[in-house]
């Protein structure tokens, strides 16, 4: 009897030990994807969490852990975090110069092989311009999720008053003629934000893209520099616009909210802005009366081409965002990103969160007519150029912003402005 109890006791110990090791093995087998983000919008975050929970349900050995850093803290702390044992598995990127610098540290993963697996299934599911925009030297360094395009928005009633037909504005000269026609009718043509500066860099950037075309523009970024003839011509065209005095009184000190209010109040006929500039929510928030322009009173057209120059109307300028995978992230991170960026999930994000997804076909979720028009334009993009204050890095970008305002205000000659940009660029090379 004693031996039987002893044998049973030993058996229970062995069973408990086996269970303990099995539990430890199961715990160690669980992969934790640490998702670092800077999202403060609870609705958008809620959609992400719902998608993450669905993935966890399908992959019970994977746990997705959300980590948050405020925008400025994110920028300040990320470089140190990436070199530590607490590095996230995936994190947010705007692309451009910062992503390029990160790619050279060894802290992040080249995901080209995953993009090209299964005959390029993942790559081919995403808009080519978006993948190219987050690629460096032919390697993909981030999974694109959303993009944006800067376009002209206009007040249809004010255009009608001035006798301007927006459908005829296909070249830069057409645009300048429309600006003059609005002025002649006593209407302020454009809401401009010279105080924040970056809204004016939209003009210089687009003009440079139109003057040079993609190949020459990329050659400039890759070492040819910014003092060439195409950049001189673009700068001259911005000066030409400024000489028409197209902006509202006080534009040099106007912030972006001021600029938005000028357009939303009907105090200027045109604004060059983001894809969501004319959405009802943004309109309401910007307008002095809390109402803004009626949706049906807002039209939209792409930045026109420059006649005789190589830039295409389908060459877009705007934001581009994605998710970077770190070097030591669990392999499931890439699988989750494939899942997150599939058509069904991106359509859900687009519908609920008013963003323009980069996954092909997911723009079906975009319901707002203004956003839908932007999505349709982006789907046809032959080239997507990221904001230059992101693409060239903050130091060069700051000079581009400054020089854009000075050119529009007629305060500097093209050659002098371009030399300042070139000097800043040379320091980054």
Domains, the chain, ranges and CATH?
31-147+319-379 (3.40.190.10), 151-317+392-428 (3.40.190.10)
Kindly provide the residue ranges of all beta strands, DSSP E only, lying in 156-253, ordered along the sequence. none
Rounded average pLDDT over 301-324 = 96
Q: Is pLDDT at 21 greater than 50 in this prediction?
A: no
What does the alpha-carbon distance between residue 171 and residue 160 come to, in Å, rounded to a whole number? 20
Rounded average pLDDT over 122-133 = 92
CA nearest to 252, candidates 309, 330, 193, 315: 193
Condensed to tens digits (0 to 9), the pLDDT of residues 246-301 reads 999 999 999 999 999 999 999 999 999 988 888 777 888 899 999 999 989 999 99
What does the alpha-carbon distance between residue 359 and residue 348 come to, in Å, rounded to a whole number? 12
Q: Is pLDDT at 28 greater than 60 in this prediction?
A: no
Structure tokens at 251: 């534009």
pLDDT value at position 373? 84
Residues 6+ apart with CB under 8 A from 11: none
Task: Report the share of the chain in percent with pLDDT over 90.
Answer: 72
Q: Is pLDDT at 1 greater than 50 in this prediction?
A: no
Mean pLDDT of the chain: 90
Tell me the whole-structure pTM to 2 decimals: 0.78
Question: Would you say 318 and 147 are in contact if contact means Cβ atoms under 8 Å apart?
Answer: yes
**How many angstroms from the chain centroid is the CA of residue 405?**
22
Question: Would you say 348 and 47 are in contact if contact means Cβ atoms under 8 Å apart?
Answer: yes
Condensed to tens digits (0 to 9), the pLDDT of residues 138-182 reads 999 999 999 889 999 999 999 999 999 999 999 999 999 999 999
What phi and psi, each to the nearest 5 degrees, are found at residue 181? -65, -40
Question: Would you say 187 and 162 are in contact if contact means Cβ atoms under 8 Å apart?
Answer: yes
């Amino acid at each position: 009897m004693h031996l039987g109890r002893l044998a049973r006791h030993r058996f229970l110990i062995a069973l408990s030990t086996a269970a303990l090791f099995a539990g430890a093995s199961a715990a160690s087998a669980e992969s934790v994807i640490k998702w670092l983000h800077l999202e403060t919008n609870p609705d958008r975050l809620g959609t992400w969490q719902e998608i993450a929970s669905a993935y966890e349900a399908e992959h019970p050995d994977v746990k997705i852990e959300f980590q948050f850093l405020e925008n400025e803290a994110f920028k300040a702390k990320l470089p140190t975090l990436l070199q530590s044992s607490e590095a996230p598995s995936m994190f947010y990127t705007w692309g451009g110069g910062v992503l390029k610098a990160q790619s050279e540290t060894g802290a992040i993963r080249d995901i080209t092989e995953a993009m090209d697996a299964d005959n390029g299934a993942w790559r081919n599911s995403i808009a080519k311009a978006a993948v190219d925009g987050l690629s460096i030297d032919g390697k993909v360094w981030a999974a694109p999720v959303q993009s944006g395009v800067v376009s002209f928005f206009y007040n249809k009633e004010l255009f009608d008053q001035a006798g301007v037909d927006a459908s005829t504005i296909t070249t830069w000269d057409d645009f300048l003629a429309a600006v003059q026609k609005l002025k002649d009718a006593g209407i302020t043509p454009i809401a401009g934000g010279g105080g924040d500066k970056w809204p004016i860099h939209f003009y210089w950037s687009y003009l440079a893209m139109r003057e040079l075309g993609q190949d020459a523009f990329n050659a400039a970024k890759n070492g040819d520099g910014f003092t060439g003839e195409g950049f001189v011509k673009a700068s001259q065209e911005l000066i030409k616009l400024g000489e028409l005095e197209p902006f509202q009184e006080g534009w040099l000190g106007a912030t972006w909210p001021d600029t938005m209010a000028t357009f939303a109040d009907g105090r200027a006929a045109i604004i060059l802005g983001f894809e969501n500039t004319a959405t009802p929510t943004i309109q309401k928030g910007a307008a002095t009366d809390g109402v803004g322009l009626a949706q049906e009173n807002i039209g939209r057209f792409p930045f026109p081409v420059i006649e005789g120059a190589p830039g295409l109307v389908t060459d877009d300028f705007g934001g581009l965002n994605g998710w970077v995978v770190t070097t030591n992230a669990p392999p499931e991170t890439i699988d989750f990103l494939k899942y997150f960026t599939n058509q069904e999930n991106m359509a859900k994000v687009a519908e609920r969160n008013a963003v323009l997804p980069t996954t092909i076909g997911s723009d079906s979720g975009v319901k707002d007519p203004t956003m839908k028009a932007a999505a349709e334009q982006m789907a046809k993009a032959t080239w997507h150029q990221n904001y230059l204050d992101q693409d060239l890095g903050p130091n060069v970008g700051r000079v581009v912003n400054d020089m854009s305002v000075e050119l529009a205000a007629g305060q500097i000659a093209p050659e002098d402005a371009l030399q300042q940009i070139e000097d800043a660029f040379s320091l980054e090379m």
